A and B are shown apart, each in its own frame.
Chain A
Amino acid sequence: QKEVEQDPGPLSVPEGAIVSLNCTYSNSAFQYFMWYRQYSRKGPELLMYTYSSGNKEDGRFTAQVDKSSKYISLFIRDSQPSDSATYLCAMSAGSGGFKTIFGAGTRLFVKA
């Protein structure tokens, strides 16, 4: 079993839809949770960063962490064609010096 599981998709939605992306994990030591966005032929870039359980909102993006269920989510409201990318979840047991484990990434297509 992989430490981090993420459905690779692809996920195709119409413009304006609410998108839900999810990851599950098995290591209860993970405390730091991140979502990276990767456009085609580019390196990933950090989108959202949360510590422990709870919600974090940034514009159209909301990250949720449920440590009791070992489940994290990224919600995108009012999705735009420019949101079309691969979204990778990532998590780490500590800040600095700890290995970050990445999910396989979910490919998202937002149709105009």
Chain B
Amino acid sequence: GAGVSQSPSNKVTEKGKDVELRCDPISGHTALYWYRQRLGQGLEFLIYFQGNSAPDKSGLPSDRFSAERTGESVSTLTIQRTQQEDSAVYLCASRVAGVNEQFFGPGTRLTVL
């Protein structure tokens, strides 16, 4: 595919359940970001992966949130024991090393009932 893909596009879950969101970056993009966007809000940085370096996890809001990335391929964002305030669109973006432009996926819309 030519762009960043994310799955699922929509996820409805019950409070207390765990969810896993997936991001497939553009091939060759070494950097990968996860953001959270609440309704009507801007982008809230969650985590950043750059190659094989240790990820920047400074934006993760609690220890219920974690993310993994294998090499320079797919990434998964896991939210454990979901809460209603976790409801948001989760966006993934990737970019080439040394360039600021980020390419975004369409997002996963998470609804926690």
Contacts and interface: CB of A to CB of B under 8 A. Distances in A.
Interface of A: 6, 8, 32, 34, 41-46, 49, 88, 92, 95-97, 99-105, 107
Nearest to A91: B100
Contact of A97 (B4, B43, B50, B91): B50
Contacts of B105: 43
A44 to B, nearest CB: 5
Query: Size class of B's contact patch?
Result: 20 to 34
A44 B45 contact: no
B41 interface: yes
A43 B106 CA distance: 5
B42 A49 contact: no
Contact of A49 (B35, B91, B100): B100
A42 B100 contact: no
B43 A88 contact: yes
18 contacts: A6-B42, A43-B91, A43-B93, A43-B104, A43-B105, A44-B43, A49-B100, A88-B43, A95-B99, A96-B95, A96-B99, A96-B100, A99-B45, A99-B48, A100-B102, A103-B42, A105-B41, A105-B42
